[in-house]
Amino acid sequence: MPKMKSNSGAKKRFKVTGTGKIKRKKAFKRHILTKKSSKTKRQLGKDTLVDKADEKSIKKQLPYKF
């Protein structure tokens, strides 16, 4: 059997933690930042975990990370 391909977009967007959870960046930090408060912009810079409902599909896209 040939190897499965990982999804290139998912490879760039997600990292796996030591405990097997999936880390992601937050959205809404690219542009239109003038109307957002400093607190909001600071919090958007932090990483967060992927929701449980989405984990299954991401794991499917990254077959060799788990």
Residues 31 and 7: their CA atoms lie apart, in Å, by 26
Grouping H, G, I as helix, E, B as strand and the rest as coil, residue 42 is helix
* Intra-chain end-to-end CA distance of the chain, in Å: 19
What confidence tens digit (pLDDT) does each residue in 8-64 have?
999 999 999 999 999 999 999 999 999 999 999 999 999 999 999 999 999 999 999
User: pTM here?
Assistant: 0.85
Nearest CA-CA partner of 64 in 17, 19, 7: 7
Check pLDDT > 90 for residue 66: no
Within 8 A by CB and 6+ apart from 17, the residues are 23, 49
